[in-house]
Structure formats: structure tokens, C-alpha cells
Amino acid sequence: MNLLRASAREAAAASSGGSGRPGAGVQVALAPPYTAIDVVGDAIRGSGLLLAAQDVAAAHEGAYTGEVSAAMLVDAGVGLVIVGHSERRHGLGETDAVVLEKVHRAGEAGLQVTLCVGETGDERDAGRAEEVVERQVDAVVDLGRVPLHVAYEPVWAIGTGRTATHEDARSMHAHIRATVAAIAGRDAAEALIIQYGGSVKPDNSAALLAQDGVDGLLVGGASLDAASFAAVVPL
């Protein structure tokens, strides 16, 4: 919940400046607040960047005041939606069942989905990190039916300045891939894009991307400044 329309437009235009196009085989998406989806979409049109949304309703339509449906997102030009972000799971009480319904709605509308999974500090300290993440992945049982990415975001590393060690990232990404292989098969697991999120910054992004099994990044605060974002994701 950052940036008003004018500043969001300015940041998006700066992010899509220069060559304005991601490198071959690289997808870059910007997920502004709902109120700025239209102006950000205009700013990045033709740039090769994908317009994304930060969340989606679990229902198709109806009396759900304040919610935004998958069909509404598609109508606004959105191509990807983030589902299950830790701030919604832990701050707003979203359960695995709610996250699954949101994945269903997004998939039915033809949206790509970035599914966020991750453990809290207490869960990691109790030795339950892999169990928690496996449960969150396993809850989305129809991985083959939805264009899905997974973003591992250890909750204890979000907005805290702490970042998972390289071994933390490598081992959890490997565990996620093994979990997906057990659900959807080895081919689906090998094709799956798994991103790391959690205090990603210009000074740690390259090292994170160099880790085996880390296919991309989910960038939070560093995306609010175009220069910082460009240092994480060169365009």
C-alpha cells in the first residue's frame, strides 16, 4: 500500500525507460495498488513488462464489498496476480483454503499466479519450516491447471532487513520443487519458476539469483524506487 497514482505512474515509466525490455527468457511484472493499475498499465504498455495485481477475490462476483474479482483484473489489463502473500496470510488471516480459492479464480480467468509461501520465525526456530511450506504448496492441489509460479518468502525476512542465507534459499527451493514433483510430477517441478522474496535489495539480488534453484525474485520495498529496482532487475 504505497504510492499514489502520479508517483506510481512516474516509477513505472522510469522502470520501463531505457531499453525498457527484459532480457531473453526473463519476465518482469509490476504490481501496483488497485487504484494505480490503469496508469501503470499505460506507462508500461509496449515495454515488455507485465502488469500484475497484488491480490484477487476468492469469489467470482457478487456482494463482496471492497473485493476485486479476477474478471475485473483481466478487464483492467492485468496478466498476473500475487496470491497468498504473507502479509495477507498472517496480517489478514487468509487460510490455505482461501488461498486455494483465489488460485482457482485467477486460473479460470486466465491469469498467471505467483503463489507466496513461507514460514514465520517461530516456525523456523521450532524446526517446522519445511513442514509449513510443504503444507502451503500441497494445499494448491491442481498446480497443473493454473499457470503458476511459487515465491518463497520467509516471513522473518520481510521488511526486517534480514535475508535468508544462500543455504536457506537453496534448501527451501529444493524442498518446494520436490514437493511439487510429488504432487504434479517431475516435469512440472522442473518447469516451475520458484522466486525468492524477503528483503531483496540491489546488494544481495545477484548472489540470490546465482543460487541453484532460485529462478527469480519477488521484490518489495526496493521496487518503490526506479533506480533501486533497476539495480535488482536490469532492463
Residue 189 neighbours by CB distance under 10 Å: 18
What φ, ψ does residue 89 adopt, rounded to 5°? -65, -50
Rounded CA separation 69/123 (Å): 32
Q: List the one residue out of 168, 135, 140, 166 whose CA is nearest residue 154.
A: 168
Q: List the one residue out of 161, 234, 169 whose CA is nearest residue 208.
A: 169
166 classed as catalytic: no
Of 85, 104, 149, 175, the active-site residue reads 85
Rounded CA separation 8/188 (Å): 35
Q: List the one residue out of 111, 202, 193 whose CA is nearest residue 152.
A: 193
153 classed as catalytic: yes
Of 119, 149, 153, 175, the active-site residue reads 153
Catalytic residue numbers read: 85, 153
